[in-house]
Amino acid sequence: MKKENIVERKTDLVADWQALIRTFIMPDNDAAKTRLVKYMEQILFGLHDFLKKHVGITEETSLKELSQRFSNSLINENPEKRLADVITDLIEDIAPHAVNVASPYFVGHMTSAIPFFMVHLKTIVAALNQNVVKLETSKVLSVLERQVLAKIHRLIYRESDEFYDKHIQNHKTTLGCFVEDGTLANISALWVARNSMLGPKAGFEGIEKEGLINAYKVYGIERAVVLVSRLGHFSLRKSGGLLGIGNQNIIGIDVDENNRIDLKALKKTIREIKHSSRKTMIFAIIGIAGTTETGAIDPLRRLAEISAENKIHFHVDAVWGGPTLLSEKYRHLLDGISLADSVTIDGHKQFYMPMSCGMVYFKDPTIMDAVIYHANYVNRPGSVDLGIKSLAGSREANSLILDSSIKIMGSKGYALLLEHGIETARNFAEEIKNRPNFQLITAPELNILTYRICPLHLQQELSKAKSEQRNVINARLNTINRQIQILQREAGKSFVSRTTLKIRNKSEENEENIVVLRCVIMNPMTNMEILNEILDEQEEIYQKHFGGLK
Amino acid sequence: MKKENIVERKTDLVADWQALIRTFIMPDNDAAKTRLVKYMEQILFGLHDFLKKHVGITEETSLKELSQRFSNSLINENPEKRLADVITDLIEDIAPHAVNVASPYFVGHMTSAIPFFMVHLKTIVAALNQNVVKLETSKVLSVLERQVLAKIHRLIYRESDEFYDKHIQNHKTTLGCFVEDGTLANISALWVARNSMLGPKAGFEGIEKEGLINAYKVYGIERAVVLVSRLGHFSLRKSGGLLGIGNQNIIGIDVDENNRIDLKALKKTIREIKHSSRKTMIFAIIGIAGTTETGAIDPLRRLAEISAENKIHFHVDAVWGGPTLLSEKYRHLLDGISLADSVTIDGHKQFYMPMSCGMVYFKDPTIMDAVIYHANYVNRPGSVDLGIKSLAGSREANSLILDSSIKIMGSKGYALLLEHGIETARNFAEEIKNRPNFQLITAPELNILTYRICPLHLQQELSKAKSEQRNVINARLNTINRQIQILQREAGKSFVSRTTLKIRNKSEENEENIVVLRCVIMNPMTNMEILNEILDEQEEIYQKHFGGLK
């Protein structure tokens, strides 16, 4: 058989059984070990210095050039390089072209610096290599995971001691589940919601078994929809597509001037759906605790009430904002979250865990029965295996990282991080308002804000201009802000992201697409001095490339 | 606001800003560092000794006792413990109650020992903390991921140099995708298959957007089904449930005496569906390259032909067996895999990566267009972001681990591991056949086999017995084998798994549920001496507890 997919490039390395077993167990020799020890020491005990020194330092290498360097689709027959050389390449040659998300100047996405000990914890998890979906490959870690789930469940739902005593280690019930990320968490929540709203009844074995077509017939509906603010994360549309309800049936509701779901618009939509000729079931209403683009928090308590009145599953996407519950000072912002039927939170966002860890929690510890699966060789009925009710069939023990981190930081340690982000974002908003070249677009409710370059004279002009004229000015500003974001990113020192918001123009009752710069302040090393530098650089780029727009 | 979910237990530790920043950056003091260095040195440079010494050494602790120890649902306000103490607890107190999946005596599941350097690679990935779904948080790692995807795609599909030159770094096309695990990989494959079989056409925007109900209407069907051997992994049923087609529509086809899909039965089912009064679309046929329970490989080439004749998406679940393609000696077993429309492979199984890494590959580099999603702040149309076509919205850079590992091992290094597994399993099967107390149930095609305790005299009795009498004997044997598996697991030295197979009784044309012991041989340190010890122990348990069944 021809081996078109495997080649032999020249190397003095040979794969034989003895070499293989050695490679499996230990470094080639003392020199190799010394090199590995050096790197591992730097990574484990000087993480932030290491990242500063090695990562993202050669931004000038273009994507095109990198693409050319990584265009070899052939696998070598014998080892291409020794382990120590591969690691050296990783550190010296690949890492420099990665992105230093740990830099305090990297304030554009929801990925940031993590405490150095997170890397230690991840190392231990990898070494243990447990698969937590089954007890036979995890034992204590399945038990520990249930405890962590209960801790976070309690943070959200604040049920009684009796409730947690009953459920914490009860393998017949489930308080939540670890998943890959926020998207999978939202998918899981809506999967459970769909199945419980269209569950078994006389002559029908439920949507999971019989499928959507039978479910709609039995329940007498032609359509199932989900209602969420139009600022909902795109994972919700993806969930709609995946679950077979169709992503156009994830209906985006208008937001108010604070980017929160407009309750009047929501109620109007509910009324319209109820009186529609097309029989429609609203199977979930979603509240967002920290929208991706602006960090806004929907009025969760009111949404819970509306959902309850209409007997609709109430889901809260707290992927971003959930950990705010750890701050006594700001947890009131999420008031009403304890009324949610399901809540999603990411570990790798504001729990400061390494990539990636999502979680989903449920008020009713039996609701996940709607997604039970068994197999003969594992996850047998009645078993303690966590995999009985979970999307994934193999999972690493991320729960161990979260459990340890909570012990190391305490709720107050997390609270300090969260409060620093919120308060720094507020100060930053003030600074933006004070700078005549900038316009604050969305003030921070949590630690996310958006703004744009828009010199004061243009702000004034815009406030007086008619629709058509406004469009011309905004189009130009959009181009400029888009360019500034790209130029700053490519300069390699700072990173803010950009997005396009639909902003309602009060006077004219229409909406405008506004390109904005977006900052997410979560790195504890990010301070006002750094944020001022970032603004300075943006102003410089603006002056240099657009000559101070007249 | 009452803080029912957060308590303050006595500790001398206080979370304040200064302590927090310190904890973020480095160990508390030199003594703490020394302790951490000691553990990390053991883990990184003496992994297998470390696991042997620390993990799974106290099997006698019952699940009940562990459950009682992990029943605290409260989060402490201040740090509960110092980092070094938390790590010490992890190593000294938690790890002993985990499962040493790296032991050569652990041959029951698809989780095993990994090369020590995998832990180094995972550590580096965690330290870089890139999110590979977007270029802005990964840069070179997005580019590198495309290269690894091309390497594995080429291993499967063996397309031309021109093909790979064209697609390897072409952001308009996609050769595959990394996902959390094999379940998510199978879900992704069937998601894409569903969407491309029920895609947009005149007056219809496709199932992803409009949902299943409209799709069935437009395509004139009442049901969509998937055909797969009844030994298909339970993730396939889960996919059916999740995708809205209903898990009862994942139809299990009978297997032949070698546990491969029975082609006659398959064709019969296809004919019946075509002539059924209920209009049904078969949207995927699935071949398995390494069934979970027996390791059997379906006749992939024939399945490809049948799929092509009927214009059905052909998916190969090679989650287990895929890496066999790296062995020149055994790759012929997967003959026909290159004809598959989609293929799934797990990295944490026979690529020996740490938990968890799944992958899905597609023959047609444009087929993933059926699952494109965009957002304003990232994954914008035309961008290079890998997240445009992926289930997850945040993903760690597992591709870096696989890429490095392929370089370190070479295809031949992997081949040696795979061949060791296959050949040891064959020798093990011979040994089982030679022992009068054991009966081989399924011979290994790859490196998985099943057998049971069944003394020779009972084997002879069974071969002569009538149905009713057979049932009595088998029921008793099932109880015994179930017990032996549990007792051996609890003794803590060795682990084989168990499952229940439906075995066709040739003479009587009916099927019997047989509890079998299941071995998966993938650890290179597992040899015949160890496997003999495992059999000896099972015989001893049998003699002791069942007194040599007469």
Q: Predicted ipTM? A: 0.97
Beta carbons of B39 and B87 less than 8 angstroms apart: yes
User: Does residue A18 surpass a pLDDT of 80?
Assistant: yes
How many angstroms separate the CA atoms of B297 and B308, rounded?
Answer: 19
> How far is B383 from chain A, CA to nearest CA, in Å?
12
Residues 290-329 of A with CB under 8 A from B: 292-293, 325-326, 328
Over residues A181-228, the pLDDT tens digits come to 999 999 999 999 999 999 999 999 999 999 999 999 999 999 999 999
> A168 contacts in B (CB within 8 Å)?
70-71, 73
Q: How confident is the model at residue B377 (pLDDT cuts 50, 70, 90)?
A: confident
How many angstroms separate the CA atoms of A355 and A112, rounded?
Answer: 10
Over residues B432-456, the pLDDT tens digits come to 999 999 999 999 999 999 999 999 9
How many angstroms separate the CA atoms of B111 and B102, rounded?
Answer: 8
**What DSSP character marks residue A80?**
S
How many angstroms separate the CA atoms of B470 and A292, rounded?
Answer: 63
- Tell me whether residues A127 and B51 touch, CB distance under 8 A: yes
Beta carbons of A298 and A258 less than 8 angstroms apart: no
Strand order through the sheet with B313-317: B176-179, B358-362, B342-346, B313-317, B280-288, B223-229, B250-253
Predicted pLDDT at B4: 61
> B358 contacts in A (CB within 8 Å)?
394
- Tell me whether residues B293 and A400 touch, CB distance under 8 A: no
User: Does residue A549 surpass a pLDDT of 90?
Assistant: no
- In order of their start, the domains of chain B are 6-93 (no CATH), 130-395 (3.40.640.10), 419-546 (3.90.1150.10)
Question: What mean pLDDT is predicted for residues A433-453?
Answer: 97
> How far is B265 from chain A, CA to nearest CA, in Å?
23
Over residues A448-506, the pLDDT tens digits come to 999 999 999 999 999 999 989 999 999 999 999 999 999 999 898 999 999 999 998 76
> B75 contacts in A (CB within 8 Å)?
151, 154-155, 326, 406, 410-411
Residues whose CB falls within 8 Å of the CB of residue A406, separated by 6 or more in sequence, listed in order: A148, A151, A414, B75, B76, B80
pLDDT > 90 in chain B, percent: 90
Q: Is B384 on the interface with A (CB under 8 A)?
A: yes
For A396, the closest of B356, B394, B406 (CB atoms) is B356
Q: What is the mean pLDDT of chain B?
A: 95
Predicted pLDDT at A8: 75
Beta carbons of B277 and B220 less than 8 angstroms apart: no
Q: Which of B279, B240, B393, B124 is nearest to A185 (CA)?
A: B393
Residue of chain A whose Cα is closest to the Cα of B108: A136
How many angstroms separate the CA atoms of A231 and A260, rounded?
Answer: 8
For B356, the closest of A24, A376, A394 (CB atoms) is A394
> How far is B453 from chain A, CA to nearest CA, in Å?
17
C-beta neighbour count of B165 within 10 angstroms: 13
How many angstroms separate the CA atoms of B225 and B273, rounded?
Answer: 9
Could you tell me the two tokens for B101? 């999946």
Do the strands B358-362 and B342-346 form a parallel or antiparallel pair, or are they unpaired? antiparallel
Residue of chain B whose Cα is closest to the Cα of A27: B45
- Tell me whether residues A164 and B73 touch, CB distance under 8 A: yes
Can you give the three-state secondary structure of A274-321, one letter per residue?
HHCCCCEEEEEEEEEECCCCCCCECCHHHHHHHHHHCCCEEEEECCCC
> B73 contacts in A (CB within 8 Å)?
147, 150-151, 153-154, 164, 168
Predicted pLDDT at B498: 96
Residues whose CB falls within 8 Å of the CB of residue A182, separated by 6 or more in sequence, listed in order: A233, A235, A317, A319, A320, A344, A346, A349, A358, B393, B394
How many angstroms separate the CA atoms of B136 and A495, rounded?
Answer: 9
Beta carbons of B14 and A413 less than 8 angstroms apart: no
Strand partners, B180: none
Segment among A207-221, B236-250, B383-397 with least mean pLDDT: B383-397
Question: What mean pLDDT is predicted for residues B170-180?
Answer: 97
Could you tell me the two tokens for B39? 């553990």
> How far is A98 from chain B, CA to nearest CA, in Å?
5
> How far is A535 from chain B, CA to nearest CA, in Å?
19
Beta carbons of B514 and B462 less than 8 angstroms apart: no
How many angstroms separate the CA atoms of A303 and A343, rounded?
Answer: 13
Find the farthest-apart pair of alpha carbons in chain B and give their distance in angstroms, rounded. 80
Predicted pLDDT at A10: 67
Taking the CA atoms of residue B182, residue B184, residue B404 and residue B52 in that order, the dihedral angle to the nearest 10 degrees is -50
C-alpha pair distances (Å), A339 with each of A30, A158, A335: 59, 10, 9
Residues 422-481 of A with CB under 8 A from B: none
Q: Is B113 on the interface with A (CB under 8 A)?
A: yes
> B502 contacts in A (CB within 8 Å)?
none
Question: What mean pLDDT is predicted for residues B358-373?
Answer: 97
Predicted pLDDT at A378: 83
For B214, the closest of A117, A246, A524 (CB atoms) is A246
> A416 contacts in B (CB within 8 Å)?
15-17, 20
Could you tell me the two tokens for A411? 């709720």
pLDDT > 70 in chain A, percent: 97
Burial of residue A258 (CB within 10 Å: 0-12, 13-18, 19+) is middle
B229: preceding bond cis by omega (within 30 degrees): no
Q: Is B337 on the interface with A (CB under 8 A)?
A: no
> How far is B379 from chain A, CA to nearest CA, in Å?
10
Predicted pLDDT at B5: 73
C-beta neighbour count of A426 within 10 angstroms: 16
> How far is B480 from chain A, CA to nearest CA, in Å?
17
Over residues B188-216, the pLDDT tens digits come to 999 999 999 999 999 999 999 999 999 99
How many angstroms separate the CA atoms of A196 and A192, rounded?
Answer: 6
Over residues A245-288, the pLDDT tens digits come to 999 999 999 999 999 999 999 999 999 999 999 999 999 999 99
Do the strands A6-7 and A75-76 form a parallel or antiparallel pair, or are they unpaired? parallel
How many angstroms separate the CA atoms of B510 and B508, rounded?
Answer: 5
Per-residue buried b or exposed e for A18-40, using 16+ beta carbons within 10 Å of the residue's own CB: ebbbebbbbbbeeebbebbbebb
Q: How confident is the model at residue B506 (pLDDT cuts 50, 70, 90)?
A: low
Q: How confident is the model at residue B62 (pLDDT cuts 50, 70, 90)?
A: confident
Q: Which of B392, B176, B186 is nearest to A239 (CA)?
A: B392
How many angstroms separate the CA atoms of B237 and B178, rounded?
Answer: 21
Residue of chain B whose Cα is closest to the Cα of A326: B6
Predicted pLDDT at B1: 41
Give me the total of CB pairs closer than 8 Å, taking one residue from chain A and one from chain B. 588
Residues whose CB falls within 8 Å of the CB of residue B223, separated by 6 or more in sequence, listed in order: A211, A213, B216, B245, B249, B278, B279, B280, B281
User: Does residue A1 surpass a pLDDT of 50?
Assistant: no
> A183 contacts in B (CB within 8 Å)?
391-394
- Tell me whether residues B213 and A191 touch, CB distance under 8 A: no
Burial of residue B492 (CB within 10 Å: 0-12, 13-18, 19+) is middle
